[in-house]
């Protein structure tokens, strides 16, 4: 049985991604009550193939601010049958304002589950609340907590291009 560290490295985790926050379909806050920050298509096109679609957790900061826990969905949102792949981050913190146009950094450190479709909006919301709970607990593990203070979050952003870095070339 491979260790969880081995499984994560097979999935290419941790994966460090940064880029501007763009507008999504706008349903996250309104329909779900769960605001999400979307990365641009350019960032999504550059994702490594090792990153399967699905629900992940990790750490995030906005405009070099405080680092918070996050949950992320990568894929096609089968409940909504999206035609474009998206990468949406829900940060486990209440922000006063939207942050479209801000610079978002995420360290994707663990995988939760595949994307699914649901019979109702309520079921989708319940599943996401469960993901938030799982992420909150998993990120308390020392091997996950260590990424909260990763130098990636302090480094000046390179805003000339979106940047994706896997464990293999990330300078720790």
Ligand X SMILES: Cc1cc2nc3c(=O)[nH]c(=O)nc-3n(C[C@H](O)[C@H](O)[C@H](O)COP(=O)(O)O)c2cc1C
Residue ranges in contact with ligand X by CB under 6 A: 24-28, 32, 36, 38, 55, 71, 73, 77-80, 88, 90, 115-117, 124, 127-128, 131
**Could you tell me which of 113, 145, 151, 139 has the C-alpha nearest to residue 16?**
151
- Shortest distance, position 138 Cβ to ligand X, whole Å: 13
16 or 39, CB closer to ligand X? 39
124 or 144, CB closer to ligand X? 124
| Active-site residue identified among 18, 41, 66, 88 | 88
Report CA-CA distances (Å) from 137 to 3, 4, 24, 73, 111. 19, 15, 28, 18, 13
Residue length of the chain: 172
DSSP structural state of residue 93: S
Q: What are phi and psi of 156, to 5 degrees?
A: -65, 135
The tokens of 61 are what?
């900061």
- Shortest distance, position 97 Cβ to ligand X, whole Å: 16
76 or 103, CB closer to ligand X? 76
Give catalytic status of residue 88 as yes or no: yes
- Shortest distance, position 49 Cβ to ligand X, whole Å: 21
Nearest residue to ligand X on Cβ basis: 24
Q: Are 96 and 151 within 8 A, CB to CB?
A: no
Catalytic residues: 88
């Amino acid at each position: 049985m491979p260790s969880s560290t081995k499984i994560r490295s097979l999935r290419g985790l941790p994966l460090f991604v940064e880029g501007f926050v763009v507008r999504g379909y706008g349903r996250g806050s309104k329909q779900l009550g769960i605001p999400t920050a979307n990365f641009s298509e350019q960032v999504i096109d550059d994702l490594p193939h090792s990153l399967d679609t699905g629900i992940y957790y990790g750490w995030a900061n906005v405009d070099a601010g405080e680092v918070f826990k996050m949950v992320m969905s990568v894929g096609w949102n089968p409940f909504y049958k999206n035609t474009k792949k998206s990468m949406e981050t829900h940060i486990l913190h209440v922000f006063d304002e939207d942050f479209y146009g801000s610079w978002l950094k995420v360290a994707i450190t663990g995988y939760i589950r595949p994307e699914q479709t649901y019979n109702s909006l309520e079921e989708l919301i319940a599943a996401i609340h469960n993901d938030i709970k799982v992420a909150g607990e998993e990120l308390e593990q020392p091997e996950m907590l260590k990424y909260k203070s990763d130098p990636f979050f302090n480094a000046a952003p390179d805003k000339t291009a979106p940047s994706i870095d896997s464990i293999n070339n990330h300078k720790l």
